[in-house]
A and B are shown apart, each in its own frame.
Chain A
């Protein structure tokens, strides 16, 4: 795609130069030299090469806050992602977080491998190899190894998810052959790598005979719902986030009131991208927890500070610190989120801050309320 097409497709050519995006941008708050408005301006005035070789191309979190407020409805995240794929063709890449280990893992997952990624399954969890429901676990087993220093056990949420599904009478398919959804490769501008992973995942899901794929990771559900059809065509199965599924069947869960005060962090993909704001909140209330909102919530929610495993640094830390202070100001005991990556990123900032709040995935909160936990 060339920049004329990108401008047209993302409606960036309709930019009014009003600056609402820059005024909203969480990155700009920390790094005032970054401006979505002038980024688009630069391309509109015929100097796209300046953007490609500017590190600001990688600064955007694709959180979508600007887009929800743009009077011209410019899809700025799509503009950035498309520009990144152009940059990639010119052999320009961003500075990857964690020394590109996630990019390497995604690259290897596109090759013929036999993973052992279901080691997190615990006794008493009912799963099958063939069935109607496929649980797309995502990268959690890798996160467990990579982020153990933060004290985050990401697969906790997967175990809780299977327990909740079991409580609803669902024994999901969990597969060793599942790959990363590839959403982060797409965010890095690697459309080819994304397509390879998408094709493998479709084959794996087709082989399981599943009619519905259930996600706990908002990035996965967003990739399947919004990005997969563009590269692999219409999907032959339903795609659903676990909180959406639970919202429909909350009565079926034997919930006990937790009696604690919590606040909820909207993940960008689940909130602004997929409009799922109420389902996780309903789940929290159903668990008998008192929900207090942070200053920035729902479509105004602040990003967890890092996406695509790229360009993590001062800005990310600044945004995370602001978010954690917002959480602290609510007086909540726990900060609940529905995204494993938000949990990791906020945990990273929390370890350097003197804030007494516990981060938890919404599935774990519900699981405690169901008291399916042995303790």
Chain B
């Protein structure tokens, strides 16, 4: 496997909550802040809506990384949905460990509607992190 494959463009699925993080992505866009075109954003009403099934489905369908984003603790539109996201991401990471998919391919971040620059920075950082890991074994035809 070519971990440091020249020009490897990972495919990253980003779950963004309607109230904070999606608006944060919007702000990054309207502010014309540059970030890598590696991300596919899926809007959910709350980060708490994301289930282990969603995250694993993304990997099964070829994602190299999954990012779950939501409102900062205490700011959740549904009071405590983002607390559920913490549990979901932790549990899914441990399932990924058993599956042999590096847990570093999954990340949880809080991004508010005012944090367009933070959204762009996290997309850049996470892209670099996943780029370093290379494609997932799921797509390895030599195995």
The answer to whether A116 and B97 touch across the interface, beta carbons within 8 angstroms, is: yes
A145, B100: Cβ atoms closer than 8 Å: no
B68 to chain A, nearest CB (A): 14
Interface residues on B, range: 20 to 34
Chain B neighbourhood of A104, CB < 8 A: 52-53, 56-57, 60
Q: Which of A96, A98, A103, A115 contacts B99 (CB 8 A)?
A: A115
Whether the pair A108, B53 counts as a contact (CB closer than 8 A) is: no
Give per-residue flags for B100-143: 1 if the beta carbon is below 8 A from chain A beta carbons, else 0: 11000000000000000000000000000000000001101111
B141 x A112 contact (CB < 8 A)? yes
Q: With a 10 A CB-CB cut-off, give which of B60, B91, B140 has the most chain A CB atoms.
A: B60
Residue among B56, B141, B142 making CB contact with A105, cutoff 8 Å = B56
Q: Which residue of chain B has the shortest Cβ distance to A148 in the bound complex?
A: B91
Asked if residues B98 and A113 are in contact (CB atoms below 8 Å), the reply is no
For residue B51, CB closer than 8 A to chain A, the reply is yes
Q: Mark B62-97, 1 if CB is under 8 A from A, else 0.
A: 000000000000000000000000000001001101
- Write the A54-66 contact mask toward B (1 if CB under 8 angstroms, else 0): 0000000000000
Does B91 contact A145, Cβ atoms closer than 8 Å?
yes
Separation of A36 and B130 alpha carbons in the complex (Å): 51
A98 and B98 in contact (CB under 8 A), knowing A112-B138, A113-B137, A113-B143? Answer: no
The verdict on A107 contacting chain B, using a C-beta distance below 8 Å, is: yes
Asked if B19 is at the interface (CB within 8 A of a chain A CB), the reply is: no
Is A141 part of the binding interface, using a Cβ–Cβ cutoff of 8 Å? yes
* B51, B53, B57, B138: the one within 8 Å of A111 (CB): B138
Does A18 lie at the interface of the complex (its beta carbon under 8 Å from any beta carbon of B)? no
Whether B140 lies near A98 (C-beta < 8 A) is no
Given known pairs A108-B138, A145-B91, the reply for A113 and B100 (CB within 8 Å) is: yes
Contact of A145 among B53, B54, B57, B98 (CB under 8 A): B98
**With a CB–CB cut-off of 8 A, which chain A residues contact B56?**
101, 104-105, 107-108
State whether the Cβ of A256 lies closer than 8 Å to any Cβ in chain B. no
Tell which of A101, A116, A142 touches B51, judged by Cβ atoms closer than 8 Å: A101
Give min CB distance, A180 to chain B, whole Å. Answer: 11
Does B59 reach chain A (CB closer than 8 Å)?
A: yes
Within 8 A of A (CB), among B3-46: none
Tell me the count of chain A residues lying within 8 A, CB to CB, of chain B. 24
A30 CB within 8 Å of chain B = no
Nearest CB on B from A96, distance (A): 8
Given A112-B141, A113-B138, A113-B143, are A142 and B95 neighbors across the interface (CB < 8 Å)? yes
Interchain CB contact under 8 A, B143 and A142: no
B100 touches A115 (CB 8 A): yes
Residues in B whose Cβ lies below 8 Å from that of A100: 53, 57
When distances are taken between beta carbons in the complex, the residues of chain A under 8 Å from B137 are 112-114
Contact B138 A117 (CB under 8 A): no
CB closest residue in chain B, given A176: B100
**Minimal Cβ-Cβ distance residue in B for A98:** B53
Chain A nearest CB, measured from B90 CB (Å): 10
- Specify which of B54, B95, B140, B143 is in contact with A146 (CB 8 Å cutoff): B95
Residue numbers in A under 8 Å from B99 (CB-CB): 105, 108-109, 113, 115-116
CB distance from A1 to the nearest CB of B (A): 27
A119→B98 CA distance, assembly (Å) = 8
Q: Is the CB of A108 within 8 A of B60?
A: yes
A116 CB to closest chain B CB (Å) equals 5
Q: How far is the CB of B41 from chain A (nearest CB, A)?
A: 21
Q: Per-residue CB proximity of A84-112 to B under 8 Å, as 1/0?
A: 00000000000010111101110111011
The answer to whether B98 and A142 have CB atoms under 8 Å apart is yes
Closest to B101 in A: A113
Whether B98 lies near A115 (C-beta < 8 A) is yes
Q: Taking each of B95, B98, B138, which has the highest tally of chain A beta carbons within 10 Å of its own beta carbon?
A: B98
- Residues of chain B with a CB closer than 8 A to A96's CB: 53
Known: A104-B56, A112-B143, A145-B95. 18 other contacts (CB 8 A): A99-B52, A99-B53, A99-B54, A100-B53, A101-B56, A104-B52, A104-B53, A107-B57, A108-B56, A108-B59, A108-B60, A113-B99, A113-B100, A113-B138, A115-B98, A116-B98, A116-B100, A142-B98
9 A-B pairs whose Cβ atoms sit less than 8 Å apart in the complex: A99-B54, A101-B56, A105-B56, A107-B57, A113-B99, A116-B97, A119-B98, A145-B95, A145-B98
